[in-house]
Amino acid sequence: MYAALKSRSFNLEETHLAAPDRVEQLVGLLALTFGWTHLAGEKRAAREGPPLEKTHGRRARSLFRHGLGWLQSMLTTPEKQDAAVFLCLSGLRSLSTFLAGS
C-alpha cells in the first residue's frame, strides 16, 4: 500500500498537503480506495485469471495494479460496461463485506 500511495499510482506526495487533518482525511480515503482496487483485482483475477508470472515465479503485476487497470479501462472505455461496473461496486455494498474481502 505504501508504494501505491507514494509513487506507483496515487502520488500522495504531489498533493503538498501540510495540514494534519487534511492529510489524515486524504490518507483515509486513499486507504479505502486501495482496498476497493485490490478487491477489484481479486475479482478480475477470479474472472480472467491471475496476472502473468515472470520467469522467477513472482507476478508481473500486483492484484492492486490488476484491479486498477480494470477500473481505469471501465471508466475510460466509451462502450457500456454495466456488468463489470456492478461487479466492482458489489464489493462495496456493505462495510462488513468490504472489510472481509469477499
Domains identified in the chain, total number: 1
- Higher pLDDT residue, 41 or 95? 41
Structural domain range at position 10? 2-100
Residue 14: is its pLDDT beyond 80? no
Q: DSSP secondary-structure letter at 59?
A: B
Torsion angle, CA of 16/39/75/78, rounded to 10 degrees? 160
Tell me what the pLDDT averaged over the chain comes to.
75
| Confidence at residue 102, expressed as pLDDT on a 0 to 100 scale | 47
